[in-house]
Amino acid sequence: MTDFYDALETRSSDQRETELFAALPGHIAHAKAAAPHFRHLFADIDAEAIRDRAALATLPVTRKSELIALQQAAPPFGGLAAVEIGRLARVFASPGPIHDPEPHGKDPWRSARALFAAGFRAGDLAHNCFAYHLTPAGSMFETGAHAIGCAVIPAGTGNTETQAQVVAHLKPRGYIGTPDFLKIILEKGDALGLDTSSIRIASVSGGPYLPDARAFYEARGVDVYQCYGTADLGIVAYETQARAGLVVDENAIIEIVRPGTGDPVPEGEVGEVVVTIFNPAYPLIRFATGDLSAVLPGTSPCGRTNRRLKGWMGRADQTTKVKGMFVHPGQIAEVLRRHPQIAKARLVVGRQDASDVMTLRCEALESGEALSAALRDSLSTVTKLKGLVEFVPPGGLPNDGKVIDDTRV
C-alpha cells in the first residue's frame, strides 16, 4: 500500500511554511472582502504583511466560545461565512446551537488524510457511526471516505443490534466513529452470535480513547487510530502508524497560545490550540478552539514531516468565580503584560477559613517585596479582587496549560 496520501505530507518543513504563508495574504484579503466579521476584525490589518508566524500572531483571535453570540447577532453564521447560504452543500446545527456550513467540493472537511493514515483505501467499505442528524460529523467523514474511493454505510448512532447485524451481513473493513461505540457493537455481535470480525481498522474521534477500549481492540486485532477536529474546522490533526502524536493537516496552520490570549507559547509548552484553515467558504483565521495541546519536537517516524500535536489535553477556558466575580485567563495574561519580568504565572484559587483565597504563583528570575506588591496591585486592579503572590523558580510551574487552577473542588 502507498504510505502517504500525497506528496504534500513529505514536503520539507521550510517548503511547507513557505507555501502556506505565501497563500495566507490572499486568504486574509478574501476573508476581509467577503466575510463581514473579518472585514471588521481585520479592518486595520494589511493582508500583504502577514507572511510568517510572527506576523500571524499579531492578528486577533476569534474564539469558538463567541460563536453562539456572534450567530445570534448576525444570523446564520455570525458574519464568518464568505458565501451565501444557498451556495453551500449542507448546513448543520451543532449543540449550542452553532450553525456550521459545508461547502461543495471534494473532501471539504479534510478528513481523507486521517482516514488514509488509519489504513482506509479505495475499494474499502466503511461503517460510519458518526451522527448524520443535524451535526456535521457523519458528513465530515463520509466525504473524506469518498475522496479516497471508499463506499460508506451511513450507520449513524444508536440501534446497536441492527448495527451488529449490518456489520455481520455487509462485512465492512473499517469503522468510523467514537472510540467506545465500536466496542459496544462488537460486544452486541458476540451476544447475538454474529461474525463481526471483518472490521480490522478504525478511525475514531469525538471522545476519550480509554485504556480499557484500547486493550479490547488490540485483543481483537483491530487497529484504531485517533484524529482531532471540531465541527467548525473539520479535521485538524491525525494519528499515524508511528503512534507518535497527531500529525497536523497539510491545509491548516496550528499555533499554541497562552490561554486567554493570542500569544504563542514556546514549543513544547501546553497552551490553547489556535487554527487557521484555507476554506474559502468559511475562512476561519486564528480560530481559538478552547482545547489544550502542545507541539511535539521533531517529526514523525512515519515519514510525514508536518508538526505534531501531543493530543487533546483538556479545555483552555478556565474561567472561575471568586467571591461572586468571574476571573478569566485573559485577566491573568493582562497582569503578566504589566510585569515583563514574570515569565509565566498561574492563579491558584482555594479556600481558607470559609473564604475564597487567590494566590498568583509566578516564575521569575528576580523577586522581592517591591515586585510582590506591584503584582498584588495589578491583580487587584485587573480582577477587582485581592490576592497573594508567591514566587517560584523558572520551570517551577507544571507544563499543563493551566492559567487558573481552582482547587476548591
Please state, in angstroms and rounded to a whole number, the distance separating the CA atoms of residues 407 and 352: 11
Q: State whether the Cα torsion 391-329-287-111 is positive or negative.
A: positive
By DSSP bridging, strand 325-327 and strand 320-322 are antiparallel
Asked whether residue 372 is domain-assigned, the answer is: yes
Domain boundary among 315, 344, 372: 315
Asked whether residue 291 is domain-assigned, the answer is: yes
**One digit per residue, pLDDT tens: the chain, 409 residues?**
459 999 999 999 999 999 999 999 999 999 999 999 999 999 999 999 999 999 999 999 999 989 999 999 999 999 999 999 999 999 999 888 899 999 999 999 999 999 999 999 999 999 999 999 999 999 999 999 999 999 999 999 999 999 999 999 999 999 999 999 999 999 999 999 999 999 999 999 988 888 889 999 999 999 999 999 999 999 999 999 999 999 999 999 999 999 988 999 999 999 999 999 999 999 999 999 999 999 999 999 999 999 999 998 888 888 888 888 889 888 999 999 999 999 899 999 998 887 899 999 999 888 899 999 999 999 999 999 999 999 999 999 999 999 999 998 6
Please check whether residues 82 and 122 belong to one and the same domain.
yes
- DSSP annotation of 193 reads T
pLDDT given for residue 1 in this prediction: 41
Please check whether residues 209 and 285 belong to one and the same domain.
yes
- Into how many domains does the chain fold? 2
Q: List Cβ neighbours of 162 (8 Å cut-off, separation of 6 or more).
A: none
> Where is 329: in which H helix or E strand?
helix 329-337
Domain boundary among 315, 350, 380: 315
Please check whether residues 334 and 308 belong to one and the same domain.
no
Please check whether residues 152 and 233 belong to one and the same domain.
yes
Domain of 67, in residue numbers: 8-315
pLDDT given for residue 240 in this prediction: 97
Strand ranges across the sheet with 287-293: 62-63, 287-293, 271-277, 252-257
Question: Which grid cell sits at 285?
Answer: 483565521
Asked whether residue 58 is domain-assigned, the answer is: yes
- Helix 329-337 crosses helix 369-383 at what angle (to 10 degrees)? 140
Please check whether residues 369 and 237 belong to one and the same domain.
no
- Tell me, rounded to whole angstroms, the distance of Cα 399 from its chain centroid: 18
pLDDT given for residue 409 in this prediction: 67
Closest CA to 232 of 326, 135, 160: 135
Q: Evaluate whether 73 touches 66 at the Cβ level (below 8 Å).
A: no
Please check whether residues 162 and 305 belong to one and the same domain.
yes
Please check whether residues 385 and 273 belong to one and the same domain.
no
Please check whether residues 307 and 337 belong to one and the same domain.
no
**Measured between alpha carbons, how far is residue 127 from residues 136, 191, 254 in Å?**
16, 20, 30
pLDDT given for residue 94 in this prediction: 85
Asked whether residue 2 is domain-assigned, the answer is: no
Please check whether residues 272 and 301 belong to one and the same domain.
yes
Q: Which amino acid is at 132?
A: Y
Question: Which grid cell sits at 254?
Answer: 496550528
Please state, in angstroms and rounded to a whole number, the distance separating the CA atoms of residues 323 and 238: 42
Asked whether residue 310 is domain-assigned, the answer is: yes
Burial class of residue 355 (count of CB atoms within 10 Å of its CB; 0-12, 13-18, 19+):
exposed
Domain boundary among 300, 315, 330: 315
Asked whether residue 224 is domain-assigned, the answer is: yes
Please state, in angstroms and rounded to a whole number, the distance separating the CA atoms of residues 133 and 115: 22
Give the CATH number of the domain where residue 396 resides. 3.30.300.30
Please check whether residues 308 and 336 belong to one and the same domain.
no
Please check whether residues 234 and 349 belong to one and the same domain.
no
Give the CATH number of the domain where residue 162 resides. 3.40.50.12780
Ramachandran quadrant class, 15 (left: phi over 0; alpha: psi -120 to 50; beta: rest): alpha
Please state, in angstroms and rounded to a whole number, the distance separating the CA atoms of residues 114 and 149: 14
Residue 381: half-sphere exposure toward Cβ, Cα within 13 Å: 10
Residue with cell 498584588: 376
Q: Evaluate whether 345 touches 362 at the Cβ level (below 8 Å).
A: yes
- Tell me, rounded to whole angstroms, the distance of Cα 325 from its chain centroid: 29
Q: Evaluate whether 287 touches 100 at the Cβ level (below 8 Å).
A: no
Q: Is 390 strand, coil or helix? A: strand
Q: State whether the Cα torsion 119-120-126-127 is positive or negative.
A: positive
Across 370-380, b (16+ Cβ under 10 Å) vs e yields ebbeebbebbe
> Where is 19: in which H helix or E strand?
helix 13-34
Q: Evaluate whether 327 touches 347 at the Cβ level (below 8 Å).
A: yes
- DSSP annotation of 315 reads B
Please state, in angstroms and rounded to a whole number, the distance separating the CA atoms of residues 273 and 315: 10
Question: Which grid cell sits at 128?
Answer: 460510519
Question: Which grid cell sits at 109?
Answer: 472537511
Please state, in angstroms and rounded to a whole number, the distance separating the CA atoms of residues 133 and 126: 18
Asked whether residue 1 is domain-assigned, the answer is: no
Please check whether residues 306 and 380 belong to one and the same domain.
no
Asked whether residue 3 is domain-assigned, the answer is: no
